[in-house]
A and B are shown apart, each in its own frame.
Chain A
């Protein structure tokens, strides 16, 4: 009976999350780009031109792809090279998420910095482990806490209650979420990502960042995002009163196979890059008018 009640509640929250009353709707441009991507004759130039029609979006995309967490050695000044380098799936997820980021920057700078930091670590790990698509992993890391943003906007009452539980009882956030809502942010983020038709390879690391051992499609990416979250938290880029480094999944650790020397190197590189991230988020806070050098019109 109890179980039934709980699942009833979960269903209700799930519905509420999906109604997305306060979350941005899918930009129309995504549907258009998806149609274009299905047509084998479409060129990246054509897709770049479609994105370029939205100047703010293009400036944001270029800024994201040029930021430290993708770690390209040279500046990417055109949308078509961004599409080639990052792949259409990543660009699509970034377009969908651009509006979420905007909310995060405005409402929760700490979570934004945590997400950027996690993406930096994930990118570095993905390169070291010679993952075939490191950008995909960075993007998953960037979005891993999507569920927190969704909860904050769609379930403001429970969200506050969860915050209070963390503060008063010193419990990790996901535990408070489970007690309060019967679901936790990773799950909510996973639903949302699926609902937005992110590719499964991106959904899984979001859904399982606290339970990477359950991964079936993309275990390596799940392990990387899981450890990225741990490492940035260790460095003090956490979120709110839930300051504790979460437990490390044994299975994820075995997949990563990092030696002590690897960890030493990783810390040195990441520390340097996190400086850029801090600068990047300060810059974004200061407004987009900064310097879209190369410009949105430059496709």
Chain B
């Protein structure tokens, strides 16, 4: 899933998280497919960002998977002798790869 500014929303995108108003009222449930009308409505309610399925936007400055994995290696480079942290790293790696799986 990816969090995108409403300005980048397009019909056909599917909500990966519900859009809430006043913090707790569900305006649009998870799984809703966006239409022009829904996007308009969200705009009127001044919703700033939404979370959609997949990874539709190549955000400027966002890193590629390879770059993210290299960063991960660097972050854990000084704790390679600590088994629980190496397990943690492996799991984060798996999740990074899965997140790109659209």
Question: A245 with B79: in contact, given A234-B89, A271-B95 (CB under 8 Å)?
Answer: yes
Interface flag for B3 (CB, 8 Å): yes
On whether the beta carbons of B76 and A234 are closer than 8 Å, the reply is: yes
On whether the beta carbons of B23 and A247 are closer than 8 Å, the reply is: no
Contacting residue for A263 out of B22, B68, B76, B87, CB 8 A = B87
A268 CA to B23 CA in the complex, in Å? Answer: 23
Contacting residue for A234 out of B17, B23, B49, B75, CB 8 A = B75
Q: How large is the interface on B (under 10, 10 to 19, 20 to 34, 35 or more residues)?
A: 20 to 34
On whether the beta carbons of B51 and A275 are closer than 8 Å, the reply is: yes
A248 CA to B49 CA in the complex, in Å? Answer: 36
On whether the beta carbons of B49 and A279 are closer than 8 Å, the reply is: yes
Contacts of B79 in A (CB 8 A): 244-248
Interface size on A, residues (CB 8 A): 33
User: Across the two chains, which residue of chain A brings its CB closest to B2?
Assistant: A275
Shortest beta-carbon distance from A27 to chain B in Å: 25
A74 CA to B71 CA in the complex, in Å? Answer: 37
Interface flag for B62 (CB, 8 Å): no
Question: A75 with B85: in contact, given A236-B71, A245-B75 (CB under 8 Å)?
Answer: no
A234 CA to B49 CA in the complex, in Å? Answer: 26
Interface flag for B48 (CB, 8 Å): yes
Contacts of A267 in B (CB 8 A): 88, 91-92, 95
On whether the beta carbons of B23 and A75 are closer than 8 Å, the reply is: yes
A283 CA to B48 CA in the complex, in Å? Answer: 9
Contacts of A247 in B (CB 8 A): 78-79, 82
On whether the beta carbons of A282 and B91 are closer than 8 Å, the reply is: no
On whether the beta carbons of A230 and B85 are closer than 8 Å, the reply is: yes
Interface flag for B84 (CB, 8 Å): yes
On whether the beta carbons of B75 and A238 are closer than 8 Å, the reply is: yes
**Residue of B24, B77, B85, B92 with most chain A CB atoms under a 10 A cut-off:** B85
Contact with B along A125-155 (1 / 0, CB 8 A): 0000000000000000000000000000000
On whether the beta carbons of B85 and A245 are closer than 8 Å, the reply is: yes
Interface flag for B60 (CB, 8 Å): no
On whether the beta carbons of B23 and A291 are closer than 8 Å, the reply is: yes
Shortest beta-carbon distance from B26 to chain A in Å: 13
User: Across the two chains, which residue of chain B brings its CB closest to A267?
Assistant: B91
Shortest beta-carbon distance from B1 to chain A in Å: 8
13 new A-B pairs (CB below 8 Å) besides A245-B78, A291-B22? A66-B23, A234-B89, A238-B75, A244-B78, A244-B79, A245-B76, A264-B91, A267-B88, A275-B51, A278-B3, A279-B3, A279-B49, A282-B48
Which 3 pairs show the lowest CB-CB distances between chains A and B? A293-B22, A75-B24, A244-B78
Binding site for B on A (CB under 8 A): 66, 74-75, 172, 230-231, 233-236, 238, 243-248, 253, 258, 260, 263-264, 267, 271, 275, 278-279, 282-283, 286, 291, 293-294
Could you show 23 A-B contacts with beta carbons less than 8 Å apart?
A230-B85, A231-B88, A234-B88, A236-B68, A243-B74, A243-B75, A244-B75, A244-B79, A245-B75, A245-B76, A245-B78, A245-B85, A247-B78, A247-B79, A248-B84, A253-B84, A258-B84, A263-B87, A267-B92, A275-B3, A279-B49, A286-B48, A293-B23
